[in-house]
C-alpha cells in the first residue's frame, strides 16, 4: 500500500445500503453504488481519514463503530403518500448527517437531492459521484423505465439536478459522462476510473463445460428477462444468475419463477459480496443486458478473473471494443451469436480474458486510484467556493 500524506478530514458517506457490506452481514440486496462506496471506505480508513457512514439499518435510529468506521443507522419506512415518505426520509437522513458532523459528505446513489440540500443549509462540502449515464443524459431513457424518467419534474431527476448544481465537486466514471455533464448541466467534473481491490492471481481453472454468468439487480433497467431468453436460446450451455430485487419484489419473483423452469439455468439470488469471487472465478463469460449503465463493478470483477464480457448495450467509452475485452453486441440476436462464439472458441475466451486482466491492472487498481479521492476530499474541505 502506497504511503499517501493527508490531513485528518472527517468524511461522511451517505451510503444507504452499504452497512451489510461493511459489517460483514448477509445483504438482502447488493447494488453498484453501495459496492463502490464500501470499497472506498475500506481503503480510506487505512489512510488516516475519519470515516462515518449514514445508512439504512434496523428499526430505530442508532450508532455503531466497526473497524474504525462510525455508522449512523437510520430506519427505512415507506408510506402510501409519496410526499410524506420523502419528507420523513430526508428528516431521518439529515439527523444522521448532522450527527456525523463531517467536513465533506460523499454521495453516489439513492435519496437524490437530500444530501446536497443538507450540505447547502449547514455549510458543509459535498462531493457527488455520478453512478449512471442516465443521470447526465436523460435522452438515453426510452419510454417508461422504473427508477428513471425523461421528465425534468420527476422526483429522481429533480433531486439529481439539485445534487449536480449544489455539488462542490463532481466525480464521473467516463469521458462520455464528463461531456454530457458539461453539455446538459454546465458543470465540470473529475474523471476517476471505478476503483477495485485487485490482488495477484494466476488464470483460474474454469468450470468445464463453460458457465455463462449474469450479475446485477433484478431491476427493469437491467432487463434480466433477456438473460433467461439467452439461456433458452443456447440450451446446451450452462448459465448462472446472481442478484436481488431492487425495489421490485414482483419482478424478482417473476424472474426467479421463470428461471426455475429453464433446465440449463441456475438462479442463485443474492450472494454475499465476500463470496462472489468464487462464481466469477468459475465462470467463463459475463453477460450484461442493461439498457444503460455507468461503469458496472461486474465488468471489473469479470476481467479480474480473466473473463470476457458480452454486453448488449453498454460499452463505456468504447473500451470493450477498443481493448478486445469481449463483445458489444447491440442487439439480442447478435448477443446470442457472440455468446455462442465465446463458448465454442476457448482460445478466444482466453485471449480476451487475458486482455481484461491486463486492462484492470493498469486502470482500476484502488491502490493506485485512492490518492485521487483523497486529493478531492482535501481540496473540497479546505477550499471555499
Q: Is residue 205 part of a domain?
A: no
Separation between Cα atoms, residue 184 and residue 150, nearest integer Å:
13
Residue 356 is given by DSSP the state H
pLDDT tens-digit map of 75-119: 886 655 567 777 888 899 999 999 999 999 999 988 899 999 999
What angle do the packed helices 32-44 and 297-304 form, to 10 degrees?
Answer: 70
Q: Is residue 290 located within the same domain as residue 373?
A: no
Q: Which residue range is the domain that position 160 belongs to?
A: 10-196+365-382
Note whether 41 and 158 are same-domain residues. Answer: yes
Q: Compute CA distances 319 → 64, 213, 269, 330, whole Å.
A: 41, 21, 29, 15
Number of domains in the chain: 2
In whole angstroms, how far apart are CA 276 and each of 213, 242, 273?
11, 9, 5
Same-domain status, 267 and 373? no
- CB atoms under 10 Å from CB of 78, counted, come to 10
CATH of the domain at 299: 3.40.50.2000
Label the pairing between strands 62-66 and 69-74.
antiparallel
Residues 310 and 373 placed together within one structural domain of the fold:
no
Are 154 and 299 in the same domain? Answer: no
Distance CA 340, CA 165 (A): 46
Give the integer Cα–Cα distance in Å for 337 and 345. 12
Contact 123, 54 (CB under 8 A): no
Answer yes or no: do 173 and 230 share one domain: no
Mark whether 125 and 29 lie in a shared domain: yes
Per-residue pLDDT, 4: 40
pLDDT tens, residue by residue, 291-312 = 999 999 999 999 999 999 999 9
Residue 144, C-beta contacts closer than 8 angstroms, at least 6 positions apart: none
Which triple of cell numbers denotes residue 368? 493506485
CA dist., res. 3 & res. 247, Å (int): 41
> What was the pLDDT predicted at 2?
40
Alpha-carbon span 204 to 74, nearest angstrom: 41
Would residue 32 count as lying in a domain?
yes
pLDDT of residue 325: 98
Continuous segment of H or E residues that includes residue 241: strand 238-242
Residue 218 is assigned to a structural domain of this protein: yes
Note whether residue 348 is domain-resident.
yes
Report CA Rg, the chain: 21
Same domain, yes or no: 179 and 45: yes
Classify residue 204: in a domain, yes or no: no
Same domain? For 120 and 233 the reply is no
Whether residue 258 is found in the same domain as residue 239: yes
My answer on whether omega of the bond before 209 falls inside 30° of 0, hence cis, is: yes
Give, for 276, the enclosing helix (H) or strand (E): helix 276-282
* C-alpha cell belonging to residue 253: 419473483
Do residues 189 and 177 lie in contact, with contact meaning Cβ atoms separated by under 8 Å?
A: yes
> Which cell numbers in the block locate residue 257?
419463477
Below-50 pLDDT ranges, the chain: 1-7, 385
Distances in Å between the alpha carbon of 266 and those of 246, 254, 260, 288? 20, 15, 8, 17
Residue 317 domain flag: yes
Domain assignment present for residue 203? The answer is: no
Domain match, 172 and 230 both: no
153 and 55 in a common domain:
yes
Q: How far is CA 376 from the centre of its chain?
A: 20
| Angle, helix 249-259 to helix 224-233, in steps of 10 degrees | 10
Q: Does residue 5 form part of some domain?
A: no
Q: Which regions of the chain does DSSP assign to beta strands (E)? A: 10-14, 50-56, 62-66, 69-74, 104-107, 125-129, 169-172, 190-191, 211-215, 238-242, 265-269, 285-288, 309-311, 326-328
Alpha carbons within 13 A on the beta-carbon side of 229:
12
In DSSP terms, 196 is beta-bridged to: 365
Amino acid at each position: 500500500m502506497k504511503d499517501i500524506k493527508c490531513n485528518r478530514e472527517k468524511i461522511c458517506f451517505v451510503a444507504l445500503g452499504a452497512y451489510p457490506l461493511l459489517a460483514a452481514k448477509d445483504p438482502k440486496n447488493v447494488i453498484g453504488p453501495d459496492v463502490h462506496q464500501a470499497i472506498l471506505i475500506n481503503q480510506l480508513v487505512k489512510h488516516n481519514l475519519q470515516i462515518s457512514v449514514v445508512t439504512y439499518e434496523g428499526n430505530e435510529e442508532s450508532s455503531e463503530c466497526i473497524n474504525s468506521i462510525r455508522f449512523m443507522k437510520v430506519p427505512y419506512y415507506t408510506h402510501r403518500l409519496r410526499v410524506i415518505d420523502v419528507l420523513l426520509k430526508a428528516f431521518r437522513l439529515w439527523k444522521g448527517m448532522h450527527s456525523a458532523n463531517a467536513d465533506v459528505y460523499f454521495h453516489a446513489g439513492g435519496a437524490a437531492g437530500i444530501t446536497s440540500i443538507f450540505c447547502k443549509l449547514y455549510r458543509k462540502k459535498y462531493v457527488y459521484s455520478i453512478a449512471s449515464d442516465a443521470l447526465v443524459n436523460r435522452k438515453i431513457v426510452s419510454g417508461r423505465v422504473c427508477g428513471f424518467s425523461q421528465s425534468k419534474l420527476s422526483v429522481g431527476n429533480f433531486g439529481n439536478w439539485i445534487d449536480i448544481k449544489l455539488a462542490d465537486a463532481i466525480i464521473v466514471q467516463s469521458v462520455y459522462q464528463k461531456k454530457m455533464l458539461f453539455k446538459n448541466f454546465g458543470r465540470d467534473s473529475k474523471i476517476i476510473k471505478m476503483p477495485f481491490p485487485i490482488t495477484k492471481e494466476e488464470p483460474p481453472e474454469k468450470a468445464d463445460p463453460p458457465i455463462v454468468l449474469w450479475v446485477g439487480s433484478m431491476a427493469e433497467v437491467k432487463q434480466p428477462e433477456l438473460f433467461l431468453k439467452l439461456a433458452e436460446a443456447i440450451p446446451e450451455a450452462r448459465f448462472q444468475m446472481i442478484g436481488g430485487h431492487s425495489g421490485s419484489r414482483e419482478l424478482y419473483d417473476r424472474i426467479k419463477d421463470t428461471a426455475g423452469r429453464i433446465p440449463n439455468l441456475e438462479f442463485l439470488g443474492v450472494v454475499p459480496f465476500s463470496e462472489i469471487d468464487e462464481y466469477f472465478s468459475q465462470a467463463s463469460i459475463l453477460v450484461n443486458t442493461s439498457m444503460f449503465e455507468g461503469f458496472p463493478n461486474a465488468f471489473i470483477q469479470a476481467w479480474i478473473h480473466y473473463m470476457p464480457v458480452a454486453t448488449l448495450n453498454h460499452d463505456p467509452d468504447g473500451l470493450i471494443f477498443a481493448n478486445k475485452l469481449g463483445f458489444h453486441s447491440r442487439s439480442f440476436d447478435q448477443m446470442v451469436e457472440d455468446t455462442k462464439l465465446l463458448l465454442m472458441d476457448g482460445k478466444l475466451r482466453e485471449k480476451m480474458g487475458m486482455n481484461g486482466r491486463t486492462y484492470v491492472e493498469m486502470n482500476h487498481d484502488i491502490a493506485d486510484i485512492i490518492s485521487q479521492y483523497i486529493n478531492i476530499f482535501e481540496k473540497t474541505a479546505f477550499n471555499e467556493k
